[in-house]
Chain A
Amino acid sequence: MTDPVLEVTNLSKSFGALAACKNVSLDLMPGEIHALIGPNGAGKTTLVKTIAGEIAHDAGHIRFDGELISHLDAAGRARLGLARTFQISSLAMEMSALKNVMLAVMAVSGEVFRFFRHAGSDDALLGPARACLEEVGLQNRAHTRVAELSHGERRQLEIAIALAMKPKAFLMDEPMAGMGPEGLARLSGLLRDLKETAPVLLIEHDMDVVFSLADRISVLVYGEVIATGTVEEIRANPDVQGAYLGDAA
């Protein structure tokens, strides 16, 4: 049996009296898309934030690529190959779309403290950045300021940036939200290809997408994982239907 790329054991996190994650255990195997679903406010984003190292967890362990990473900060974890997308787009509004991606390319190359060479004409950055924009269908918007992109286009850019980091695993927080049907189809295809190189922990409220893409699904309710299983198992689970799916099952 292969080892999981990402393994979360008994992770807990509270905000004051509110326990956002309680004893969550979860893993991400190579080559899979593992969907994380659950009602609003269940703690999904919180879980992603603790895994990414943006907020500290109270208890539990996070193992990535076989190593414990709890002691690393967010930047350190990103450098190990853990890329995340944000539920609410987090981009540099005054930069062009291309530059946003170039920065990610540069970050993985590790050569940040270079003061003299012109970055904007550096093919080592430009080439991969252009390729990533093309993957998400933004090649025509490369030189547009992010502030001038529409909401859906920004969502696509989020994905392009994550791609540019060439990570070992993706944490995607509602990547499809705000994207039109066309972008949705494109991204679904992209994720299917991508999971072979790097598995994806996918948070998504669009059940059509989840059911068609996910290899495994975990359901988080009130901070607890109430079920993990295949699409069929989850669809059939009455608890999940009641708490989350409604008619969408």
Chain B
Amino acid sequence: MKRETFITLLLMALLFGAAFHGKTGDEPFIITLATKAAIFAIAGVGLNLALGYGGLVSFGHAAFFGIGGYAAGIIASAARNYAPVMTWPMEIAGSTSMPVIWLAAIVAAMITAIPIGIFSLRTGGVYFIMITLAFAQMLYYFAVSWPAYGGEDGLSFYVRNEALGLNMMDPWTYFAVCFGVLAVVLALMAVLVRSRFGLALEMARQNPQRLTASGIRPFNVRLTAFVISAMITGLAGALYADLNRFVSPSMLSWHTSGEIMVFVILGGVARLGGPVAGACLYLLLEEVLGDVTDYWQVLLGIVLLLVVLFARGGLVGLLAGRRAAHD
């Protein structure tokens, strides 16, 4: 087994262990925290496909996270109010079934990502960073000032949605669901980046000129990666909405984009387990340092700095060493 795969599995085991500890130690909040880490890890895995493997540094993934969240929120609250989600061009009823909501979130993220991707991919480098930010900010301000779904106040739907007749309000059950989704997404990602498409994507990042000269349009490859990436992040958004039983524009804000990005970079860019490591470490630090002092964010900043300065390639890079040229 390759070292990186091993580390990913180890990280997953740690995450699971932490949640299990919360269950046996009757500290449900640890489970909630682990759930949050799992969800952010999913969002990060999504972003990592664009940012890490595709070299498309999107500073606007909050848009997809938020769109996924709002899709979940709107559908669920419509179902609770017995109102249709929309009546035009066709009538769509609300639902409280998680699989339905996930699908809707994924599709919504996809529909948003296609136009954003088409426009954004005309640019490159830092310009790409900023144009994705621009689109996310547009959505953010729209959500803040659009009154229909609560504006800045957000939208509550009180109870988690349901699936398979499980009691999702039980933290452990919900954790298991999110953990399962994370595992599936990771497996998919592992396959994807080693596939033919993954090879093309890697070339699109490293040398688009060469890719073109070989007869493949970098644009198509990138757009596909960007949209898949958005769909995964959208799914994470739906899960996050369910975790909190609440969505608000803050899911769309640039802080969220930045946070997901920090998870990925901290854990290791273009490393399979990177987002998992990043999300876990960050949330753990937040939790532990918060108890130390009111000014805990200073400590958090210092720890982050130390990680950047001394762990090349993020946490996973530190543990797994340099990536080999062939795999």
Contacts and interface: CB of A to CB of B under 8 A. Distances in A.
Interface stretch (A36-44, A56-64, A98-106): A98-106
A110 B207 CA distance: 19
Contacts, number: 111
A106 B199 contact: yes
A84 B200 contact: no
A78 B221 CA distance: 16
B91 interface: no
B199 A103 contact: yes
A70 B195 CA distance: 33
Question: At the interface, is chain B mostly helix, strand, loop or mixed?
Answer: helix
- Candidate in B197, B199, B221, B327 with the most chain A CB atoms within 10 angstroms: B199
- Candidate in B191, B209, B210 with the most chain A CB atoms within 10 angstroms: B210
Nearest to A53: B212
Q: Report the interface size class on chain B.
A: 20 to 34
B325 interface: yes
- Candidate in B197, B202, B214 with the most chain A CB atoms within 10 angstroms: B214
Given A96-B325, A96-B326, A116 B213 contact: no
A118 B194 contact: yes
Given A91-B207, A92-B206, A93-B206, A116 B191 contact: yes
A179 interface: no
Nearest to B219: A75
Nearest to A102: B199
Contacts of B209: 54, 86, 90
Contacts of A94: 206, 325
B203 interface: yes
B192 interface: yes
Interface in B204-263: 206-207, 209-217, 221, 224
A113 B197 contact: yes
Contacts of A227: none
A122 interface: yes
B196 interface: yes
Interface residues of A, number: 45
- Candidate in B196, B212, B325 with the most chain A CB atoms within 10 angstroms: B196
B218 to A, nearest CB: 8
A144 B33 CA distance: 43
Contact of B196 (A100, A108, A119, A148): A119
B207 A90 contact: yes
Contact of A115 (B191, B203, B207, B215): B191
Contacts of B210: 90-92, 100, 103, 161
B191 A145 contact: no
A186 interface: no
B198 A119 contact: yes
A125 B326 CA distance: 14
Contacts of B198: 119
B85 to A, nearest CB: 31
A143 B203 CA distance: 16
Contacts of B217: 73, 75
Nearest to B205: A92
B195 A107 contact: no
B194 to A, nearest CB: 5
B207 A112 contact: no
A115 B197 contact: yes
A129 to B, nearest CB: 11
Contacts of B199: 99, 102-103, 106, 119
A120 interface: yes
Given A116-B191, A117-B196, A120-B326, A78 B203 contact: no
Contacts of B224: 113
A172 interface: no
Interface string A117-150: 1111010010000000000000000011100100
Nearest to B327: A120
A201 to B, nearest CB: 15
B183 to A, nearest CB: 17
A111 interface: yes
Given A94-B325, A113-B224, A119-B196, A75 B202 contact: no
Contact of B200 (A90, A100, A112): A112
A79 B215 contact: yes
Contacts of A86: 209, 213
A52 B217 CA distance: 14
Nearest to B198: A119
A198 interface: no
A194 interface: no
B197 A112 contact: yes
A91 B208 CA distance: 9
A111 B200 CA distance: 10
Contact of A165 (B194, B206, B214): B214
Contacts of A96: 325-326
Interface string B19-44: 00000000000000000000000000
Given A108-B215, A119-B195, A165-B214, 16 more contacts: A75-B215, A78-B212, A78-B213, A83-B213, A86-B209, A91-B210, A99-B326, A103-B199, A103-B214, A104-B214, A107-B216, A113-B197, A114-B195, A115-B191, A116-B191, A116-B195
5 contacts: A84-B213, A86-B213, A92-B202, A93-B207, A111-B196
Those 4 A-B pairs whose CB atoms lie nearest each other, nearest first: A78-B215, A92-B206, A107-B214, A145-B325
